[in-house]
Amino acid sequence: MREFIQSVQNFLKDESGPTCVEYLFMLALVVFAAMAGIRLIGGQAKTLFETSRNAMP
């Protein structure tokens, strides 16, 4: 029983859980920024390729 109580106390003192959440949040921000950038650049690239395709005889 004493080992169980000690393991619960160690679990409550452990700070790796919040750190993991912070890393997941940062990963989500990076993914969101990448998706937004790809959408922006993708739209411009599509317009560029369509313009050059239409300019060919």
DSSP 14: -
Q: How far is residue 35's CA from residue 47's CA, in Å, rounded to a whole number?
A: 18
Q: Which pTM value belongs to this model?
A: 0.53
Which of these, 21, 23, 41, lies nearest to 33 by C-alpha position? 41
pLDDT score, position 33: 96
pLDDT digits (tens, 9 = 90+) for 6-57: 888 887 777 776 777 888 999 999 999 999 999 889 888 888 999 999 988 7
pLDDT score, position 20: 79
The domain segmentation of the chain, as residue ranges, is 16-55
Q: How far is residue 29's CA from residue 8's CA, in Å, rounded to a whole number?
A: 33
pLDDT score, position 17: 67
